Chains A and B, each alone.
Chain A
């Protein structure tokens, strides 16, 4: 008899846990920037999980059990797309047993599908390195792209959770207003950075560079995703010596050695930009991300002009 009671108690606890998991809208963001954007738009009505951190290369994630478990319970999956997650996301979707977040489902949102993508190749061949047929996937480095994604994401949230549509809409309006004001602030601050040249580690910053009219002299990787080697770095060194360059930029997860190699042989500084939310201290949300990015670029610009 007591064993039956114990079993019933266990079942009740189990059910309580399960209902708790099902209580609210669950959002699975492939990258931290989309987790941060989702938090801006949903407030407390949803639980937001980020599958990756700013310290992880989103190309190279594995379909870890924790990712599959979170995808199982997700109502909405927000990913950059453009094949950024092609090495792991299909595996997560296939193992999750969740119809909503399949590639054709209402709960799968691909951020890169709502922005004009850059570097869309005419032909794709693996001899070109890690190229994406859908174009460069690192769209979050231009705040105007964030604004476009916010609009489409807000609409999608209302679609999957109509009960809170009004709330999503007003939160979106509020966010967009603050965001556009912030863009004006950043663009004013960065006026003097425009037109300068940079060296980057990986083809990560093309949207940032386009936004700020920065010119990419070279990348430290000979081809996207192919590790830097000394022969290629020597070519980059020769290029860099011919023209004024602002800095060598990389993400928090890129290996520091190639930047350091080049910095040693020039008077350039090797700089880590946050890349996404959580990449550096003070980048806990999207505003912080661009505040810090702008601050670093300004410091560099002031350093070189003085």
Chain B
């Protein structure tokens, strides 16, 4: 086998020699062509023989592997590698987890002081506001992820931020997930972002816009993520159909107090999606969240809520790219509708509310590196209760809304620069907001979610 290889290499060298001679002497071109043909057929003979030998070797190895395989009948994970010069795919740090670091920075201008932010009709948690004026770093995210073994995948994302002069580390996600359950099942446990809706599971740095849509900020304080467990089933069909259920501790907004013996949030979700043709694909879904809250505090005073909060979400996303190739041009159309029913005690008085929110957005990459986008958000609240007049739950006959426009330049997929304008009418007077924002991703190449 090795001798065959040597002969082939010698022949290859010979043919390159001949090639250089051919360049200088045109007269002998025909002779050389004939020679080359002969050599080609010789080479081909050898190649066929080598390929045959390799196949035989592979089969011998396979036979050997299946002999030493566990008696369960499962084929062992021995990967058949032919002996031709193949360098190992990864050499150093092969067992270290994939590491990625996301650096985010923003300059924000607001015509109204963000500290005075309010959306009449809604009780706001700490991350519901529009951020701060001027330069700010926001959160820098560090993610480590890897397959734990043949049956589990694990990942952790820690966010570093500076709050009031002190550096804070918050654990955004730390979970393990199965990779080897049968019947299309996947189990996830730990702290992670819920799979409800469309945007919820995605990390904010992958969002198209600098800030989250109003319904996400106000109903979910950015997104729903907590300590819990998730079971997901993917149907064995050619079209994507998944069902899932989750249970969470429920110690933070929209829940509080870890009710239900430490299981204060339950969710159900279903998604389906497919390609409509070569250019369009879509995903739609519906989700339901049940939240029990005891002593949920919002605002500076604070306001206290005890009761149940239920949330339903309908999400839809369509994506288009010429020939299904998004590299040069592509279009995204995305919308979610959220409806929340809350009932219980607000500051110890009866309260019941039905609150709706939606956003519609589109982002168009009109040429490589450049994107433009537009978004419209709107909220409605219908709150009834004995003592809500004058509180944050009083709508003051105003429905919060916002219009956002985006221009993005990506030097590569790892460096994004964004300019965004918001006409924010969350409150009765209009706030004009301008953001200049960068997101740099270092390290392991994160796989894109649809």
C-alpha spacing A52/B327, complex, angstroms: 13
In B35-79, the 8 Å CB interface with A consists of 36-37, 40-41, 43-44, 47-48, 51-52, 54-55, 58-59, 61-62, 65-66, 75-77, 79
Interface string of B317-357 (1 = CB under 8 A from A): 00100011111100000000000000000000000000000
Q: Which of B22, B48, B275, B449 has the most CB of A within 10 A?
A: B48
Known A72-B234, A133-B90; contact A65-B447, beta-carbon cutoff 8 A: no
B275 touches A66 (CB 8 A): yes
Which residues of chain B come closer than 8 Å to A66, judged between CB atoms?
238-240, 273-275, 281
A97 pairs with B185, CB closer than 8 A: yes
Q: Are B369 and A227 within 8 A (Cβ)?
A: yes
From 83 to 122 in chain A, residues with beta carbon under 8 angstroms from any chain B beta carbon are 83, 86-99, 102-106, 110, 113-117, 120
Most chain A CB neighbours (cut-off 10 Å) among B36, B234, B278: B234
Stretch of A30-38, A54-62, A231-239 contacting B (4+ beta carbons < 8 Å): A54-62
Task: Provide the residues of chain B in CB contact with A255, threshold 8 Å.
Answer: 328, 368
What is the predominant secondary structure among interface residues of chain B facing chain A?
A: mixed
Measured CB to CB, the closest approach of chain B to A116, in angstroms, equals 5
* A187 contacts chain B at the CB level, 8 A cutoff: yes
The answer, yes or no, to whether A217 is at the interface (CB within 8 Å) is no
Contact A86 B445 (CB under 8 A): yes
Q: Is A155 an interface residue (CB 8 A)?
A: yes
Does B237 make an interface contact (CB < 8 A)? Answer: yes
- A residues near B, CB below 8 A? 17-18, 21-22, 52-53, 55-57, 59-66, 68-70, 72-73, 81-83, 86-99, 102-106, 110, 113-117, 120, 126, 130, 133-135, 144, 147-148, 150-152, 154-156, 158-160, 162, 169, 172-173, 176-177, 180-181, 183-184, 187-188, 191-192, 194-195, 213, 225-227, 253, 255
B397 close to chain A: CB less than 8 A: no
| B236 and A18 form a contact (CB under 8 A) | yes
| Contact A158 B47, beta carbon cutoff 8 Å | no
- A57, B327: Cβ atoms closer than 8 Å: yes
* Alpha-carbon separation in the docked complex, A79 to B447 (Å): 16
Question: CB-nearest residue of chain A relative to B155?
Answer: A94
* Interface bracket on B: 35 or more
For the complex, what is the distance from the CA of A150 to the CA of B272, rounded to whole Å?
A: 36
Q: Contacting B186 at CB < 8 Å: which of A97, A160, A173, A176? A: A97
Q: Which residues from B are CB-within-8-Å of A114?
A: 81-82, 84, 86
- Nearest CB to that of B324 among chain A residues? A56
Q: Is the CB of B79 within 8 A of A176?
A: no
Contacts A120-B87, A183-B47 given; indicate if A155 touches B281 (C-beta within 8 A). no
CA distance A187 to B150 in the complex (A): 44
B262 proximal to A (CB < 8 A): no
Question: Can you list 6 A-B contacts (CB < 8 A)?
Answer: A82-B89, A86-B445, A95-B186, A103-B147, A113-B89, A213-B16
Contacting residues, chain B, for A116 (C-beta < 8 A): 84-86
Q: Across the two chains, which residue of chain A brings its CB closest to B48?
A: A180
Q: Which residues of B contact A133 (CB under 8 A)?
A: 89-90
Of the listed residues A88, A160, A184, A225, the one surrounded by the most CB atoms of chain B closer than 10 A to its CB is A184
B40 touching A188 by the CB < 8 A rule? yes
Partner of A180, one of B36, B47, B186, B369: B47
Q: 5 closest A-B pairs (Cβ-Cβ)?
A: A65-B273, A65-B240, A155-B58, A99-B180, A91-B447
